Each structure stands twice: as C-alpha cells, then as structure tokens.
Structure 1
C-alpha cells in the first residue's frame, strides 16, 4: 500500500464512461480501495441533482465535493458548506449568455435550470454555479474574458466549448482541502484524478495528480502521471498502480459472469 489516504475522482470523462456508466472494473477497484481504508470521494462539477445517482450506486458513506467546490457534503444528507454567486453576478452572466446567443444553465439549491426553463423568477433564487456553452471557440473564449472582467468570479471549464462560474476562490481544490480538514489528513496524502481544466488546481495541489488518457493536453502536462482513458478503465488502472502498487491487470468474468481480479503483479 502507498501513503495515499484519499482518492478524489472527477466524474464525467474520468470515472464515467462516455455513456455515463461506472464500469465493472472501475467499480471493483473503488470498492477495493475503500475496503483497504482509503476514502474515495467524487470531486465533480455536477450538483446533487445529477451526481447523487452515482453516490447511491456505489453506496458511499463519505464526503463529496459538488459544483466545483460550491457545495460540500460531509456524507449523504449532511450538507457542510454552500457558496453562492450574488444575484447581480447571476444577472450579469445571464446577460452575457443571452447577448451572445449562447446556451446557459445554472445550479441553484432548488434546481438545475437550463435556458429553456429560465424565467424572471429565477433571479430570486440562490445560485451556486452558472454555466455557458457556445460551439464557436472564439466566442466562448471572449465570454470567459468578459466574465473575468466582472471580478470576484472563479472561471473554469469542463470542455473547450463551455465555461463554469463559481464564487471567487471556490474550486475543486478548495473542496478537497476542506474534506482533508474534516478527515484530518493533508493534501500530500491525496491522489486526484481528472480530465479537464476544472480539475487543474486539484491535480496540481494533490500529493499525486493523475490525468486521464483522454484529458486535455494542458492537464496532462501538469499532472504527475497519465493513466488510461475513461473508456479503458483509467481510474481502475490508477488505483491499482498508485494505491496498491500493482501492475494493472484487467478483470475477467468467471462462468457465472462475476468479475474476478486478474493475477496482478507487484511493481518492484
């Protein structure tokens, strides 16, 4: 075993396959890590509205970092922190999106709301994260610049064609640091795995930062290591290698269809 006591996992493009599943092999190694005493958490841009199904699926009774750090949970049903954008900031971001003809969405306490459902009443809600998407790369780049000029905002992205906005200083790194405080461990004891720009600060701050094989090149350069893609069980491979010190081996189903661990070899 290594010294990592916490594994922080991004969801989309990392733990999840392209069809939004957790593969059998990834599921197996997450559970193996938990059984070995390693805390495995999600650190995701998703909110509870769309992430809780995976939390429930794996039956994890652990903290979670949601909405790029804007919402932190001690465990299921145990909210710890929320960090809100101001209502004026939401109006400013909404105007930027509408003026550019861009798709937009927001996570409030009450809902995940897209452009089609947005009404004037939405400006009276408390919003934790606001997202904008535009398929034209120069346009979305300009929108990021315009949002940054407003000040007091944390601006990142989970794809080249979008931007995700939280309150300044709120990020996945912030969320994972808070979880470390809760658990009484240091960031040097964390392995973090992700695939895009909103994982950058977390990857750089962790004791061991791992970029997925399908990650953007900038993140790969910043990471300590690069694992396989999300379609090729990159999370499972990273847990085998860096938590257990094993040469990654695939799982193979037995005659009943149950997956068994292959003959993993220790790395010497």
Structure 2
C-alpha cells in the first residue's frame, strides 16, 4: 500500500459483482445514496465489469450513470447513447488455445460471449442458473463455438472447483502470453479476453475521454481482474472480502460488499477530499 494521493479525486471507476453489488446481485440503498452524494459533489462515476453491456443496464439506471461504461473487463466501452467508444475482440487463434484447454476438463463449464449473446453447449450445467440470475437473460445453446471465433468478447471457464481454475489459469497464461488477458474475475470464474481488454486500459480510455488526469482517478474492486485498474488509478481501493493478493495491490482496503464497502470508501476516502 502507498500513501494516499494529495490531489482531489474527480472520477471513480467501480467494479460491479463483489464490489457494488450484494451477493444477490442487488444494490443497497446506502450504496445508491453514496453514489448520488458523489455525483452531487461533482465527482464523476462509472462502471467496469466482466459482464456484457446489456447485463449492466439495470444498475446504470439505478445509479444514474451517464458516462461511458466498460463491459467484458474493458473489452467493450459503451457510450451512454449505446455507441462504442472502444471494442477489443479475442484473436481467433488465442480463443482456440483456451477452448482446447478447457474442453478437456469435465468439471469445467465453458461459455463464450459474442455479439451480446451468452453462448454455451450445455444449458443444464450447474453454474448456469447463477449466471442467468446475475445477467438477467438466458443463454443461447450452440453446437460449436467456431462460427463465432472472429468476434469473441470473452471466454469464461467456470467451476465450483476453484483450485482447478487456479491450475487452469497457471497453465493458460504461458500459452497465451502477449496475446490475451487471463484472470479470475471471481473465485468461480476464469476470464479470457483480448490483451487490450483490461480494466486498466478501460480506466485510461474513459479518463482521457472525460479529460481527467489519471492521478485524479480512483478505482475500486475485489477480483483478479481489478488490479489492472489499480495500477493506473491515482487511488486504488480493494474490497474487504478480496483475496490477499488483490488487497496487496491496492492503496487502501474498505469493508466487504456485504457491509457496504463501496459506500464506506466513498465516505472515508473520496468525499472528504
């Protein structure tokens, strides 16, 4: 952890699942009120998540977000009018490497996100109900992922066997080094996205669009895909329930998402300044 920056924060970029949202994927009233207070104080606020764009709409409306938002870990940055500020697709050759590795794992479900759709081969996988509840829409069942190789936003390997996902992450990283981002957005999700599709690039792109220097930005998150934006932000905040490896890369640590950690961080680290 480092000393807190002296400049006031003008823009906060927040992760969603495990950060802004409670475990049941809802927003607490305290969090909604804290974001409103932030905006009333003139501090800009937006979202960066591994979710697809259309799985962010309810939260965007509830929080009154009127800035570009980052989906697919920064792979797609969408302006408020629905137009794209940036889009980064996973190279087809890299996608095939990841899909081949995951295909040999009977305890792993494999999902592909392309063109706004959530694609899978087995609609009865044990992780499907959880994802459908979180996204708010059902998957599209396909026989093969090959027709979608040229426009893949994200590949997800998911399993309740978190140790297996850690092993797969270690196996995949050297295979796609310099070609893709590989990170566990949550303990049960291993995400594979384009090299440029990371939350650090997303923070940099949105801050530049808004005309805010990086030293006056803040980022808050809990997952393995969040330190990328921690490294770019003037102030980085980890959630209380985050893994120790994530906490070590943040300037400060707030409470868990079940304890309104985002609201506490806004009240303690941003608004007073």
Give the TM-score normalised by structure 1.
0.85
Aligned residue for 1:110? 116
Distance in 1 between residues matched to 2:265 and 2:73, nearest whole Å: 22
CA RMSD across the alignment: 1.9
- Whether the 8 Å CA contact 1:188–1:207 is kept in 2: the answer is yes
Tell which structure's C-alpha radius of gyration is larger.
1
For residue 91 of structure 1, report the CA deviation from its aligned partner: 2.8
Distance in 1 between residues matched to 2:246 and 2:195, nearest whole Å: 21
For residue 121 of structure 1, report the CA deviation from its aligned partner: 5.3
User: Per the alignment, do residues 86 and 204 of structure 1 end up closer, same or farther by CA in structure 2, a change over 3 Å counting?
Assistant: closer
Aligned length: 246
- Whether the 8 Å CA contact 2:88–2:196 is kept in 1: the answer is no
Distance in 1 between residues matched to 2:154 and 2:269, nearest whole Å: 33
For residue 45 of structure 1, report the CA deviation from its aligned partner: 0.9
For residue 171 of structure 1, report the CA deviation from its aligned partner: 0.6
Q: Summarize deviations over 1:208-261 as a string: whole Å, max 9, x none.
A: 111111111111122111111111111111111122218xxxxxxxxxxxxxxx
Aligned residue for 1:75? 80
Aligned residue for 2:173? 148
Q: Which has the higher contact order (CA 8 A, sep 6+)?
A: 2
- Whether the 8 Å CA contact 1:29–1:236 is kept in 2: the answer is yes
Distance in 1 between residues matched to 2:121 and 2:60, nearest whole Å: 27
- SS of alignment partner, residue 12 of structure 1: helix
For residue 204 of structure 1, report the CA deviation from its aligned partner: 2.6
Give the TM-score normalised by structure 2.
0.84
Do structure 1's residue 34 and structure 2's residue 59 form an aligned pair? no
Distance in 1 between residues matched to 2:18 and 2:48, nearest whole Å: 13
Q: Summarize deviations over 1:74-118 as a string: whole Å, max 9, x none.
A: 324121111011233333322222211211112211302234255
- Whether the 8 Å CA contact 1:10–1:194 is kept in 2: the answer is yes
- SS of alignment partner, residue 130 of structure 1: strand
Aligned residue for 1:176? 203
Where structure 1 has 5 or more consecutive residues not aligned to the other structure, the ranges are 247-268
Aligned residue for 2:229? 202
Do structure 1's residue 52 and structure 2's residue 57 form an aligned pair? yes
For residue 119 of structure 1, report the CA deviation from its aligned partner: 2.5
Q: Summarize deviations over 1:10-57 as a string: whole Å, max 9, x none.
A: 000100011111110110110111122111000111111311211122
For residue 176 of structure 1, report the CA deviation from its aligned partner: 0.7
Distance in 2 between residues matched to 1:123 and 1:69, nearest whole Å: 23
Q: Which moved more, 1:114-123 or 1:70-79?
A: 114-123
What aligned pairs does 1:78-97 form with structure 2 within 5 A after superposition? 78-97=83-102
User: Per the alignment, do residues 119 and 208 of structure 1 end up closer, same or farther by CA in structure 2, a change over 3 Å counting?
Assistant: same
Distance in 1 between residues matched to 2:164 and 2:259, nearest whole Å: 33
- SS of alignment partner, residue 225 of structure 2: helix
Distance in 1 between residues matched to 2:7 and 2:38, nearest whole Å: 11
